[in-house]
Amino acid sequence: MNRICFSCQNTHIGTLSILRSNLVHIVEKRIDARERYVLLALDTLDNPYEIWETMYDDHMVRYIFIGASHTDKNSKCLL
């Protein structure tokens, strides 16, 4: 899978590039049908409830976008 930009998303902290190579986990388990959450993920980037800056074990700082939605299954979204 090449590292071309699938989407550039404007967020509260700037423009984020979404790479195709980072989306493999969304569809790797077809039984979970995770792709149905893509619109929720994009909405979370646009309208996050909170954004956390987090240091990971590899000493890289990453942002966690936290979203909440009102659905019949009380969905939450962490990106």
Non-local CB neighbours of 10 within 8 Å, separated by 6+ positions: 46
The DSSP letter of residue 31 is G
Non-local CB neighbours of 9 within 8 Å, separated by 6+ positions: 15, 16, 18, 42, 45, 46
d(CA 33, CA 31): 6
pLDDT of 53 > 90? The answer is yes
The average pLDDT across 1-6 equals 52
pLDDT tens column, 7-38: 778 888 888 877 777 777 776 766 766 667 77
The average pLDDT across 48-68 equals 90
